[in-house]
Amino acid sequence: MIQTLIQGDLVDECRFLVFPVVLGTGKRLFGDIIPTGLEPIDENAAEGLPSCPVPWR
């Protein structure tokens, strides 16, 4: 679904929570498309948690 929304230029902002866990292989979030025009506008590390929300626009 995210691929369709990005290709339709319907996404203004993405927020990711990254957890450093190795699971092997899986489905790629963006598939074969490469989001263009996205740049980080902020990054924030949560204390005591292995996550860092980074909003992109």
The structure's pTM equals 0.37
**How many domains, the chain?**
1
In terms of Cβ atoms closer than 10 Å to its own Cβ (0-12, 13-18, 19+), residue 47 is exposed
What's CA 3's distance to the chain center, in Å?
Answer: 12
Give me the domain span that covers residue 52. Answer: 1-57
Helix (H, G, I), strand (E, B) or coil at 55: strand
> For 23-50, how does the pLDDT look when each residue is reduced to its tens digit (9 = 90+)?
767 677 666 766 666 677 777 666 665 5
48: left (phi over 0), alpha (psi -120 to 50) or beta: left
